[in-house]
A and B are shown apart, each in its own frame.
Chain A
Amino acid sequence: MSSPKTPTLEEFRARAALTGLTLTAEDIEHLHKGYVGLLGLMDRIPSTWAWAAEPPHVFRADK
């Protein structure tokens, strides 16, 4: 993905403040661990797509 930089806890805390959720310090630390783990796995998702590579709006298994 094109957001490869793993956020530090401090950077993540700043993002958390913008989510609109009520989060405690413990919540944020825990979510940071989950997000960093998820981000590591997301390296598998290609970062470069043709600009017009349109995702399915409503997924249809037969298309």
Chain B
Amino acid sequence: MTDLTTLGIAEAGRLMARGEITSSALTEAFLKRIEAIDPKIHSYITVTADVARNAAHQADREIKGGLRRGPMHGIPVALKDIYETAGIRTTGHSHLKADYVPAIDAETVRRLKDAGAIILGKLGTHEFANGAMTPDQPFPAVLNPWNVAHQPGGSSSGSGAAVAAALCMGAMGSDTGGSIRNPAGYCGTAGIKPTYGLVSRCGIFPLAFSLDTAGPLAWTVEDCALMLDVLAGYDPNDQGSAKSETVDYGAAAHGAIEGMRIALARSWYEAEDASVTPDMKEGIDEAVRVLKDLGAVVEDVVFPDIWDYHICGRVIITTEAHAIHRQDLIATPEKFGYTTRRRFQLGAFISAEQYIGALRFRRQLHQDTRAAMRGYDLVMTANHWGAPEAFAEPQPVFHFLDKPSLTMPFNVTGQPALTVCCGYGGDGFPLSFQLAGHAFDEASVFAAGAAYERATSWRMHRPKL
């Protein structure tokens, strides 16, 4: 008997369409596994077992009756706990929202439900998608399923951990400076930060309006594409939402990549002052070789300095996050975790001129990046520097002073960026790289990422819990 929890979304959908499995059986398998495994990694804040069972029964009735809503019909997924859910508490992993029960669903949740997806529950996160996993928060820290003594990455920590541990088939995360791609990388899953404006943020707790994006994490690139198929689309209730063409991302994930031109931003991750671990370098070099074997052209290209993107994005996040949380910082500062409070307070010291300067710099970096990409379809670079930090190590409050973020460039430019697992280091942790496309060209990103996955065997290897 196949372990239902390790099926991919595409495969499970095919089996359901043929009547070989039911959504109820799939959902029960996940609920049982959550009960057995999640106490070891704390990825869930709230498990909505009854809601999930009812939705699964309805999906089964619909499928049996000939109604097929699409590839997400009957598929169990989970949500970072900053996605508002009608009648189900949405905490932001914070004392401030520990009892908050929204009246309506976030637009993305509504779309997932309309597509027939089954919501298993709400997942742990860095507080308000910005803080860190610290003991002064109302829920336990999410642990890395590859080694529970280490961080899972954040801020979509529960999303990365739950997908890697096979506690859901896909999960929603959010990405303002790398919060989908960091946990995807550290937990060895796929994850995409879509183009800014492609997916609605309406009903998701904001961190920094002009950088926030919402997107999926799943075990494979193809599964991320299938999730994005139901998530993408214009929403008049989101000020940043774009009217873009409808694209079949699931089909794009099966596209050929022969002749595709990829610009390798090596200078970002192999520099004198900051370089990835030897294992990571080897993994990325090997991934370049695989992509070349598949017919892609991969060439080193010089982009603006990684620190430029890093500081530009950090000033914008720090300022906007302060503005969003200012009233609570004044009224009830003690309700924030220590690290979150400090990071949000810092924005009070940034002047209007400094903030506007960062926004102007953003436009310049956007133009310079586009110029460097001329003649190329994708950018490839490292996803993270090396192994995740151990919980035993002190967590820096101002983490941005240490090394530049490898994920920030694509938040600053708004481009779509995908995390792809490319092996495992000697320490057992996953290695990964990013593929970023031109704005709204998620199709090329998925094509290259999925082709790489099909050509390698890394997706066969799951954490043992």
Interface residue from A35, A41, A47, A59 paired with B196 (Cβ < 8 Å)? A59
The answer to whether B3 has its CB under 8 Å from any CB of chain A is no
Report the bound CA distance from A31 to B413 in whole Å: 29
Q: Are B439 and A38 in contact (CB under 8 A)?
A: no
At the interface, yes or no: B315 with Cβ under 8 Å from chain A?
A: yes
Least Cβ–Cβ distance between A40 and chain B, in angstroms: 8
Q: For residue A2, which residues in chain B have a CB less than 8 angstroms away from its CB?
A: 353, 357
Q: How far is the CB of A63 from chain B (nearest CB, A)?
A: 9
Q: Find out whether the CB atom of B357 lies under 8 angstroms from the CB atom of A21.
A: no
Stretch at the interface among B48-56, B174-182, B279-287, B341-349: B341-349
B242 within 8 A of A: yes
List, in ascending order, chain B residues with CB within 8 A of A53's CB: 360, 363
Which of the residues B312, B354, B360, B362 comes within 8 Å of A3, measured between beta carbons? B354
Question: Please, what's the 1-or-0 string for A22-37, where 1 marks a CB less than 8 Å from any CB in chain B?
Answer: 1100010011011101
Check A58–B210 contact: CB distance below 8 A: yes
How many residues of chain A have a CB within 8 Å of chain B? 35
Q: Please give, as numbers and ranges, the residues of chain B lying within 8 Å of A22 by CB-CB distance.
A: 330, 333
From B239, which residue of chain A is reached at the shortest CB distance? A58
Contact with A along B386-413 (1 / 0, CB 8 A): 0000000000011011000000000001
- Secondary structure type dominating chain A contacts: loop
Which B residues are in CB contact (< 8 Å) with A16? 349
- The residues of B that contact A1 with a CB separation of less than 8 Å are 353-354, 357
Is there contact, CB below 8 Å, between A61 and B439? yes
Bound Cα distance A31, B242 (Å): 37
Residue of A nearest to B312 (CB): A45
Whether A37 contacts B314 by the Cβ 8 Å rule is: no
Q: Using Cβ atoms and an 8 Å threshold, which residues of chain B touch A37? A: 398, 401
B260 close to chain A: CB less than 8 A:
no
- Please name the residue on chain B nearest to A32 by beta carbon: B349
Q: Are A15 and B414 in contact (CB under 8 A)?
A: no
B354 touching A42, Cβ below 8 Å: yes
Among B326, B414, B415, the most chain A Cβ lie within 10 Å of the Cβ of B414
- Please report the C-alpha to C-alpha distance between residue A20 and residue B242 in the assembled complex, in whole angstroms: 37
Is residue B457 contacting chain A, with contact meaning CB distance below 8 A? no
> Considering only CB atoms and an 8 Å cut-off, how many residues of chain B contact the other chain?
50
Are B329's CB and A21's CB within 8 A? yes
Q: How far is the CB of B198 from chain A (nearest CB, A)?
A: 8
A39 to B341, CA, bound (A): 19
Complex CA gap A19/B345 in Å reads 9
Task: Flag if A38 contacts B315 (CB, 8 Å).
Answer: yes
In the complex, chain B residues whose CB is within 8 Å of the CB of A47: 357
Task: Give Cα A62–Cα B198 distance, bound, in whole angstroms.
Answer: 11
Given the known inter-chain contacts A55-B356, A60-B242, please indicate yes or no for A44 contacting B330, CB distance below 8 A: no
* Known A45-B312, A55-B363; contact A27-B242, beta-carbon cutoff 8 A: no
Q: Is the CB of A61 within 8 A of B195?
A: yes
B359 and A31 within 8 A (CB): no
Q: What sequence of 0s and 1s flags, for each residue 340-377 of chain B, a beta carbon within 8 Å of any chain A beta carbon?
A: 00100110111101101111111110100000000000
| Chain B interface (Cβ < 8 Å from any Cβ of A) | 195-197, 210-211, 239-240, 242, 244, 305, 307-308, 310-312, 314-315, 318, 326, 329-330, 333, 342, 345-346, 348-351, 353-354, 356-364, 366, 397-398, 400-401, 413-415, 439-440
Chain A interface residues (CB < 8 Å from chain B)? 1-3, 12, 15-16, 19-23, 27, 30-31, 33-35, 37-38, 41-42, 44-47, 49, 53-56, 58-62
13 interchain pairs (CB within 8 A)?
Answer: A1-B353, A20-B348, A31-B342, A37-B401, A38-B314, A38-B346, A55-B359, A55-B362, A58-B239, A59-B211, A59-B362, A59-B414, A60-B240
Additional A-B contacts beyond A38-B314, A44-B305, A47-B357 (6; CB < 8 A): A30-B342, A34-B346, A38-B346, A55-B356, A56-B359, A62-B440
